[in-house]
């Protein structure tokens, strides 16, 4: 599965002559986190199934990647 690559890659300037590259979270994880935040902002947590909310967040993220032509 194409996860969209890094959402927030980081290049740390060399301090000892070596540049450090940090991949960061994937674009898929970022999209899922945003979808989850939206669900939590609009849904009551009284009857919340956290596992289902997480799965739905990743379904939304996958749809977003597909819409971008990345999956």
- Reduce the DSSP state of residue 20 to 3 states and report it: strand
How confident is residue 66, by pLDDT bands cut at 50, 70 and 90? very high
What are the tens digits of pLDDT across the range 51-63? Answer: 999 999 999 999 9
Task: State residue 47's pLDDT score.
Answer: 78
**Could you tell me which residue, 47 or 61, shows the higher pLDDT?**
61
Residue of 6, 1, 4 whose CA lies nearest to 24: 6
- The pTM is what? 0.73
**Could you tell me which residue, 49 or 14, shows the higher pLDDT?**
49
Count how many Cα atoms sit within 13 Å of the Cα of residue 25 in the half-sphere of its side chain.
8
Please determine, for residue 27, whether its predicted confidence score (pLDDT) is greater than 80: yes
């Amino acid at each position: 599965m194409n996860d969209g690559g890094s959402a927030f890659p980081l290049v740390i300037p060399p301090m000892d002559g070596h540049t450090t590259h940090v991949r960061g979270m994937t674009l898929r994880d970022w999209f899922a986190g945003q979808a989850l935040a939206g669900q939590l902002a609009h849904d009551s947590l009284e009857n919340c199934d956290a596992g289902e909310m997480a799965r739905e967040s990743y379904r939304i993220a996958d749809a977003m990647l597909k819409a971008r032509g990345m999956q």
